[in-house]
Amino acid sequence: MQRPKKKLRIKFITEKIARITFTEDQSFKDSPSAIVITNSVFTGYRFHESETEFVICTDALKLMVNKDTGAISYYDANENLLVREPERGGKWLTRKEVYKYVYPTQTEVSVNQGIDGVRVPSAKGQRVLDRIAFEAKLEFVFSADEALFGFGSHEEGFGNLRGKSRELYQHNLKAVVPYFVSTKGYGVLIDCGALMTFHDDAHGSYIWADVVDELDYYFIWGESFDEVTRQYHLLTGKPPMLPKWAFGYIQSKERYVNAQEMIQVVSEYRRRQVPLDVIVLDWKYWPAEGGWGQKSFDPVRFPNPKAFIDELHKLGAKLMVSIWPKMTGDCPDRRELLERGLMLGDQSTYNAFNPEARQCYWEQAKRGLFVHGIDAWWCDCTEPFEADWSGAVKPEVHVRLLINTEYAKQYIDPAMINLYSLFHSRGIYEGQRSTTDRKRVVNLTRSSYAGQHRYATITWSGDICATWETLRRSIPEGLNFCVTGEPYWTLDIGGFFIRHDPTLWFWRGDYDAGCRGLTAPDLTEPDLKDTGCTDLGYHELYTRWLQYATFLPIFRSHGTDAPREIWRFGEPGTPFYDTIAHFIRLRYQLIPYIYSVAAQVTLNSYTIMRPVALDFPNDITTYNLTDQYMFGPAFMVCPVTHPMYFQRNSKPLQNAPKTRDVYLPKGNLWYDFWTEKPFHGGQTIKADAPLEIIPVFVKAGSIIPMWPVMQYVDEIPDAPYEIRIYQGADGEFTIYEDAGDGYEYEHGAFALIHLIWDDKKGELVVEKRQGSFKGMVEAREYNFVFISNTNRITKKAIYTGNLLRVSPKE
């Protein structure tokens, strides 16, 4: 469609994906996308026109375009209106000047130590006009009966985004993805790397973008949320499998200071028979001389890195190490990047947008760390700038937006300021994949963007505070992140900052007793006096947080101010310790379920952690649930987000109810996971929530594979399965098995075992195993547990890969 000075183009990628491009230039630029990687074009569409509209149809979608204004209305194949743009057009471009900063090649910068790394004050560059581009605005008219989710993880604790606004720029406390989904069965991806904002408020319903060459976006439809995500992954790439051990317990703190301390911590977990799979080495492991960010071990505190890591491996633990995009001083890594001209203008942050810089950075990480046997990367500070991370007063929303984005624009093209983490993650993934196929890439990173999932990233929510309010807000924020097709999200269990520092707006935890603050940069031996936060109010908060995190895609404890090992919260026989131990052990019992669901992420674009509303879109009561969510197809998790036992300073709470309200979606039977008592859906109940549990409900028809507690994942590869079948509805589940690490699964080296429950017949069918892999357990004991509203029946069998029928009636 063309009008004077305006051009609108619609292409179909599949029958369910329409790409819309709008420009006021003479032609479309079609610049390469950092987000979208497919070149597919679907040509089986149909076109006709009326006096007022162009109509473009596939068997799944119909787009009606107003001839006068270009406004698009989107319909499904049954003529149901999904969403529309306002009749005035809805797509707006305004020409603007785009500037860049030019720096002398030998710019010298000063640095200072920040809370989460070094801070590099702005270097002085010359601001020059680079080009003319556009700022863009895309408007929608949403239906009153739909809920919206997405745009990543932020601070405010929003669930359903109707009536809300979002500022889309990278920050310590923001992980941005320019994509949203609707309960009406569609998603919208904006192909843009610039600052954006979303509004559905008094200012209107629209997405604004700071700098674009042209407005470029994708409309995606699917019969279900999972189908929408599958189509989205056709555009942006599939998430690869993480290793099985990545779904175990990850123990971290700010920070372990030497090899001996880390070995002692893992050994103590083994002695206590509390499972652990990963221990994390935070900053300052590098040599004392030089500067920040060197990717090699200090020879004094880590004299034999390979022997140290081998010892961890013998204990059944993996090592994750933090690496940083910033380097300072005269450290060899920085010097090499500077000499090759591979730094951004601050001369401190490597230029991840440059393929040569990514390759150089990877080679540094490989020779300094990976060759010694480390297992996972923690790519910290990947925003990579934080201009507002100082001061006692938190700036207003619009002020923070300007402070952070204008700073980033000094070093990164304004059209790309949200893309640093995407390119950084690409460099790590491609570097490791080119080095070996025996270890799957694991990259824990603080920022994200559309498409980053294809590089095996896990995103965490940043340096959050230890408050009940932060815990409450984290639940919907994690959900809004995961619906964007980025499947792996986590947080710092217990919050990063525990204590309250009145001089820093972000260091506002509620608990001071026993907290030491940031680990001294020059510390070389563990501080034996640092025994942890002693406030019982914090112990309760931490315990509830860990219960919640047991049902997150990734299960990780981390923070500053005080250590987080289990013995910092008591000893066996005390309530906090016992509850923490119980939930860590439960996580390991659920590994067959979790790993199988994770396989569906890779195979079928499933989402592990999901808003209840997207599984039950016909139940509008679910639309605004912010403290309940689905964990895979079976579990509805209902965290406890208020204290019941202690206030701050260990002050006991009197007569606090030990229950919480839980809404059970209608149309289903739900089982209390702990008591196995059934409840009908469509009601709100008072669920018991003493310290020992959080309310967890299982949907009827669910099939849940479990196995015994292990000290690390796959400690006992041939352990028996317990297969729980929750009767009351038909159901199915596919158990996934593979080698647990390496990329042979990409070549078909895995096995699938499909289980089908026929509720009317009262029969479970375990189908013939499909596929195989080296080391596969050929015969395994299966203990079937049939749970109904009247009884619990157990049957045993040896599954050898052949079809098996089991009934509780026999």
What is the full DSSP assignment across 591-602? HHHHHHHHHHHH
- 49 vs 55: CA distance, rounded Å: 6
For residue 222, the model assigns a pLDDT of 98
Both tokens of residue 726? 């929750």
- All residues at 6 or more sequence positions from 297 whose CB lies less than 8 Å from its CB, including other chains: 285, 286, 287, 305, 368, 369, 372
Which residue carries 């002692």 as its tokens?
264
The distance from CA 408 to its chain's CA centroid, rounded to whole angstroms, is 23
2 - beta bridge partners?
Answer: 7
Q: How far apart are CA 270 and CA 566, in angstroms?
A: 12
| End-to-end Cα, the chain, rounded Å | 67
- The tokens describing 422, both together, are 């995407």
pLDDT value of position 415: 99
Q: Give the list of residues 6+ apart from residue 112 with CB closer than 8 angstroms, or none.
A: 118, 119, 121
Instruction: Work out the number of other CB atoms within 10 angstroms of the CB of residue 203.
Output: 10
Domains in the chain: ranges and CATH: 2-236 (2.60.40.1760), 244-591 (3.20.20.80), 703-806 (2.60.40.1180)
Q: What is the pLDDT of residue 434?
A: 98
Can you give the three-state secondary structure of 97-149, one letter per residue?
EEEEEECCCCCCCCCEEECCEEECCCCCCEEEEEEEEEEEEEECECCCCCCEE
732 phi, psi to nearest 5 deg? -155, 160
- Write down the pLDDT at residue 123: 66
Quick one: DSSP state of residue 244? G
C-alpha to C-alpha distance for 598 and 248, rounded to whole angstroms: 13
Whether the Cβ atoms of residue 436 and residue 221 lie closer than 8 Å to each other: no
Max CA distance (Å), the chain: 82
Phi, psi of 325 (to 5 degrees): -75, -15
Residues 449, 796: Cα–Cα separation, whole Å: 47
Contact partners, residue 314, CB within 8 Å, separation at least 6: none
CA atoms of 709 and 688, how far apart (whole Å): 25
Provide CB contacts within 8 A for 372, sequence distance 6+: 297, 305, 306, 309
Helices (H), 569-703: 575-589, 591-604, 612-615
pLDDT of res. 483: 99
- One DSSP character per residue, 333-397 reads HHHHHHHTT-B-TTSSBB-TTSHHHHHHHHHHHHHHTGGGT--EEEE---S---TT--SSSPPPH
Give the mean pLDDT per block of 10 residues along the chain (810 residues).
Answer: 80 98 95 96 95 97 97 97 97 98 73 59 83 98 98 98 98 98 99 98 95 98 98 99 99 97 99 99 93 96 98 99 96 97 96 99 99 99 96 97 98 98 99 98 98 99 98 99 99 98 97 89 87 96 99 98 97 98 99 99 98 98 98 99 98 97 98 98 98 99 99 98 99 99 99 99 98 98 97 97 93
Give dist(CA 109, CA 82) in Å, integer: 52
Cβ atoms of 179 and 188 closer than 8 Å: yes
Cβ(338)–Cβ(328) below 8 Å: no
In this prediction, residue 290 carries a pLDDT of 81
**Closest alpha carbon to 619 in 659, 666, 577, 664:** 666
Structure tokens of 807? 């009934």
Find how far residue 118's CA is from the centre of its chain: 25
Q: Give the pair of three-digit tokens for residue 357.
A: 């810089």
Give the Å distances, CA to CA, from 787 to 168, 215, 671, 773.
46, 54, 9, 32
CB 299 within 8 A of CB 257: no
Neighbours of 267 (CB within 10 A): 14
Name residues whose C-beta falls within 8 Å of residue 398's C-beta, 6 or more positions apart in sequence.
Answer: none
| Contact status, residue 269 vs residue 276, Cβ threshold 8 Å | yes
Phi, psi of 353 (to 5 degrees): -75, -15
Distance, CA of 716 to CA of 521 (rounded, Å): 40
Distance from C-alpha of 437 to C-alpha of 435, rounded to nearest angstrom: 7
